[in-house]
Amino acid sequence: MCIFCKIIAGEIPSKKAYEDNDMLAFYDINPQAPVHILVIPKEHIPSVDAIDSQNSAIVAKIFETIPEIAKAAGITNGYRVISNCGDDACQTVKHLHFHILGGKPLSETMA
């Protein structure tokens, strides 16, 4: 089981920001902004590269819910949503996740 599937299963503790039947949001263990939350589907999808017509409904739901998660976390002045996909993007956990970064003015560069 991957590390994020273990978090979903409760085998590894996390600080939850949002949870429902299909998805989980929890605080990143190594925050890169004052608010740094990871949003994941409960279904194991390896990365953005594995999104297809069979599993994209959960991706839509995640994006419908991100504004609510950001607001509940206290972000009031904008945020960045990032998904690292594959080796060149430095994806370290091979379970689809979207980083929500906010709570301060972020870097103008992304790459």
Query: Which residues here bind Zn ion, judged by CB under 5 A?
Result: 2, 4-5, 44, 95
Stretch binding ligand AMP (CB under 6 A), from 23-31, 51-59, 66-74, 102-110: 23-31
Give the one entry of ligand AMP, Zn ion, none that residue 100 binds, where binding means its C-beta sits below a cut-off of 5 to 8 angstroms depending on kind: none
| CA–CA separation, 16 and 19 (whole Å) | 7
Residue 26 pairs in a beta bridge with 16, 38
Should residue 111 be labelled a site residue for ligand AMP when binding is judged by CB under 6 A?
no
Residues, the chain, total?
Answer: 111
In Å, how far from its chain's centre is CA 93? Answer: 11
Catalytic: 44?
A: no
